Amino acid sequence: MSRGDRAGEAVKAAAEEGKQRQSSEAPAAQVDVTVRGNDASSEEAIAKEAKKGYDLLLIGVANTAKNGAFHPDVTRIAAAFEGPLAITVGKGVHLQQPERSPLHILVPLNGTEVSRRAAEVAIAVAQASGCPVAALYVAHSTTSKPRKRRGFRLLQQEQAIMKDFVEMADRYDVAAKTAVRADLAPDKAILTEANEAQHDLIIMGVSRRPGDRLFFGETAAAVLDKSPASILFVAT
């Protein structure tokens, strides 16, 4: 059996196991598994498959990144797909125990549309995993003023974003927590919160930046480089 055949069989087996775990009342999900041989590069295979009209490309490969930068293979795969991306970066315990449960999810929010979409993904993952999700409002301050002295308008924005997140989680019966770190750079705020609250998965909303390499900005690069927790980047 070839390497591609073994990969296909593994995916099919995982899909079948997932079906068996579903309740008898829930309809079984249809899983279409396509295995490409070594006769084409990854980016060529992705480009060909993408013509079928997929809405999302989920990338999960070994050696995804190093020193805050994505591996060239990941860049080439992403470049072959024009739509939204979700890139998984396994770290820590998830590399030794891929099926470890429950997850401890952290999603940073800053009021942008991309961060809200990441929140939607985080809530969906939390619901499927039967675990809570925590939102961190990242309000970067250029001053040393404590939070209580920040502007009233900023506090209103923070409260509105967190209220929206909690209400969204409630609609899907997901337990939600919130936290605020106002006086740290965004990457340090995310890493500090993840470390102190012992989160093992960070779900970040990001945007592709122009250039030859796959780059989501300095904050994402710093988190990618320094986070001991696994990361799911959601680029829409």
Query: What single string gives the DSSP state of each residue in 93-155?
Result: HHHH-TT--S--EEEEE-S-HHHHHHHHHHHHHHHHHT--EEEEEE---SS---GGGS-HHHH
Return the minimum-mean-pLDDT range out of 20-24, 61-65, 171-175, 201-205.
20-24
pLDDT band at 3 (very low <50, low <70, confident <90, very high): very low
Q: Work out whether strand 176-181 and strand 133-138 pair parallel, antiparallel, or are unpaired.
A: parallel
In sequence order, which residues have a C-beta less than 8 Å from that of residue 200 and are 6 or more positions away? 92, 93, 94, 100, 103, 104, 229, 230
Answer yes or no: are the C-beta atoms of 143 and 97 closer than 8 Å: no
Answer yes or no: are the C-beta atoms of 203 and 234 closer than 8 Å: yes
Other CB atoms closer than 10 Å to residue 207's CB: what's the count?
13
Q: Report the residue count for the chain.
A: 236
State the fold for domain 42-235: Rossmann fold (3.40.50)
pLDDT given at position 38: 55
**Cα distances (Å, whole numbers) of residue 22 to 25, 28, 38, 103:** 8, 7, 34, 19
Query: Quick one: tokens of 34?
Result: 């396509």
Return the minimum-mean-pLDDT range out of 43-52, 162-171, 223-232.
43-52
- Token pair 């590399």: residue: 95
Beta strands in the chain (DSSP E): 57-59, 65-66, 69-70, 85-89, 105-109, 133-138, 176-181, 201-206, 230-235
* Cα–Cα distance measured from residue 22 to residue 17, given in angstroms and rounded to the nearest whole number: 9
For 8-48, write each residue's pLDDT tens digit: 554 455 445 545 544 444 555 565 656 555 555 777 788 78
H/E element holding 16? helix 3-21
β partners of residue 205: 234
pLDDT given at position 17: 54
β partners of residue 65: 70
Handedness of CA 36, 42, 45, 50 (dihedral sign): positive
The domain spans of the chain are 1-35, 42-235
- Determine the average pLDDT of the residues in 128-132: 93
Q: Work out whether strand 65-66 and strand 69-70 pair parallel, antiparallel, or are unpaired.
A: antiparallel
What's the pTM value of the predicted model, to 2 decimals? 0.80
Q: Of all residues in the chain, what percent carry a pLDDT higher than 90?
A: 52
In sequence order, which residues have a C-beta less than 8 Å from that of residue 114 and are 6 or more positions away? 205, 206, 207, 234, 235, 236
- Token pair 């470890």: residue: 100
Q: Which has more confidence, 97 or 204?
A: 204
Among 3-7, 32-36, 58-62, 144-148, the range with the most confident prediction by mean pLDDT is 58-62
